Structure 1
Amino acid sequence: MQTTGVHSWCVGLTLPLILAAVLHQGLADVTPPPAPVTTAAPHTDPARPDRGTYRLTSSNGTTCLLAYMGLQLNFSISSLPQNKTLQQVLNVNPNTTKALGSCEAESAHLRLTTDGDKTNLTFVFTLNTTSDKYHLSEVTVKAVLPEMKDPFSAQNSSLNYLRGTLGRSYMCREEQTLSVSANFSINTFQVQVQPFGLKGEQFGAAEECQLDEDDMLIPIIVGAALAGLVLIVLLAYLIGRKRSHAGYQTI
């Protein structure tokens, strides 16, 4: 009777432990589904760019667009001398970048000129006055690159990135890749931007991106699952111990 009780306790304890290990490994392997528009950006060279503050003012002198972000430009260019496609990465240096542009009732244009006026990057934000929602709708880039005889250019006016609500700022701490064309994309780093509804010189309340929300959700799910598994193991141990003691009873 004693041997049977101990064996039952061991089986009762071992099975939950195996289940806990399997479920934990399964949860660790699960990655959040990719956001419908943006994806986590890969780490590329050169190193992580510095964040810069870019500001536009309206005709009355008040701030109408505010952006704080690090930018990294990814070019895919065809090199005729080498007869192959080359990848070139350029960090936007906020210390040598000029911000110009304009703000309208339903659109805002932010033009960044950097790298000794060799690179011009324009962001166009659009506001839907019916829903009070805004988004990055267009990006245009023109750049003089060492490997190209002619200037590089790309444009896309049907984008849907950096979505926010009028009077609030869009924030994303995670790296993102904003794909503009087949041969050009932008990596954003810890971006916060508000192109409409600014009050004063500060951002409005932040609306966090899906990538940030997923990044916070995974540890919570894993922690809750592990807590539940610990409880199952503890209950299995107590039940097995009770059965082991029952084996000592006299008949």
Structure 2
Amino acid sequence: PSTAAPTTPKPSVQQNFTCKDGNTTKFSLTGSFTLFITYNKTNGLTTIPIEVPQTKNFQGTCGNTSTESLTFTFFNGWSITYVFQEEVSIENGLLSATNKYYVSNITVVYVHDEHLPDTTTPELKVESKIAQDRYLEATTDGYYTCQTNISLAINKDVTLTTADFKYKAFNNQGDINLDSGTVYECPKDEETSSIVPIAVGAALAGLVIIVLIAYLIGRKRSRKTGYETV
């Protein structure tokens, strides 16, 4: 029988990756990463969460091209690769940038080792890849952010979940500040941003009603006391 991926708390290990070209930080990516992997155990299919540990082993490719990439490695032979694509258009037969970029490909490589206990295929190395169109899109004057969990099924056996995720690519000058510029939020963050003002407004409205009722009750009692004195 197949075991559904368990619900896990938000991943806690925060990663931070950058790629520099000269004095310019071309891209920056931060976040926490968890893999949910389905595989055959000796007693059937199972799905387990694998939290990506803190790693400083990464390689970035960046420069004066329309494609940038990041590969970070962990454990023994495991890796995750992000490919960033700058959107271009053709004007008068020439390619020109549109100032938009997105994640075009994600590749996950994992090994059937001790992190997948009781596997029926020990030491098997697996590469899973997905191509996306305009996934996590932003513009060069801003960055993409998603504080809540983003889950992406790479294929039927691998799901990548990120949290506290921010990235900016194709930066043209200087360092990258992931707290400035135009913010592009994931749908879940936008829902949260809209819910908070509504909740605050409802709470304030309730407070006003309570104060008004208390005022009317106090006024009624005051008038009654006045009548009794007369």
Q: CA deviation at 1:121?
A: 1.6
* Residue aligned with 2:154, SS: strand
The answer for the alignment partner of 1:67 in structure 2 is 29
Aligned with 2:156 (options 153, 167, 182)? 182
After superposition, the Cα gap between the structure-2 partners of 1:109 and 1:212, relative to the gap in structure 1 and judged at 3 Å, is: same
Q: Say what the alpha-carbon RMSD is for the aligned residues.
A: 3.1
Per mean C-alpha deviation after superposition, the further-off stretch among 123-132 and 224-233 is: 123-132
Corresponding residue for residue 15 of structure 2? 52
SS of corresponding position for 1:219? helix
Amino acid corresponding to residue 50 of structure 1 in structure 2: V
| Aligned twin of 1:3 | none
Distance (Å, rounded) in 2 between the aligned partners of 1:167 and 1:231:
42
Per the normalisation by structure 2, the TM-score is 0.72
Pairing 1:209–2:216 present: no
Aligned partners of 1:77 and 1:88 also within 8 Å = no
Rate the CA distance shift 1:73–1:154 in 2: closer, same or farther, 3 A: same
Flag the structure with higher strand content: 2
Larger relative helix fraction: 1
Q: CA deviation at 1:157?
A: 0.5
Aligned-partner Cα distance in 1 for 2:17–2:218: 66
Paired with 1:83 and 1:213, the residues of 2 have a C-alpha distance of 40
Question: What amino acid is the match of 1:78?
Answer: N
Q: Which has the higher contact order (CA 8 A, sep 6+)?
A: 1
* Pairing of 1:1-251 with structure 2 (within 5 A): 42-44=7-9, 48-58=11-21, 62-79=24-41, 81-95=42-56, 97-103=57-63, 105-116=65-76, 118-129=77-88, 131-146=98-113, 147=119, 148-149=121-122, 150-158=124-132, 160-203=134-177, 205-206=180-181, 207-210=183-186, 211-240=188-217, 245=223
Structure 1 pair 196–234 and aligned structure 2 pair: CA distance change class (3 A): same
> What stretches of structure 1 of length at least 5 have no aligned partner?
1-40
| Alpha-carbon spacing, 1:90–1:236, altered in 2? closer, same or farther (3 Å) | closer
Q: Could you say what secondary structure the match of 1:203 adopts?
A: coil
User: In structure 2, how many angstroms separate the alpha carbons of the residues matched to 1:123 and 1:166?
Assistant: 17
CA-to-partner distance for each residue in 1:72-123, whole Å, 9 max, x for gaps? 22212223x222223241314223x22243445322121222223x112211
Q: Percent identity?
A: 15
- Shift of residue 134 of structure 1? 1.5
Q: Which runs of 5+ in 2 are unaligned?
A: 1-5, 90-97, 114-118
Residues 147-193 of structure 1 show CA distances to partners (whole Å, capped at 9, x for unaligned) of 23432221110254332111322233333323322221222232221
TM-score normalised by the chain length of structure 1: 0.67
Give the conservation status (yes or no) of the 8 Å contact 1:51–1:94: no
How many correspondences in the alignment?
204
Q: Considering only CA atoms, is the larger Rg found in Structure 1 or Structure 2?
A: 1
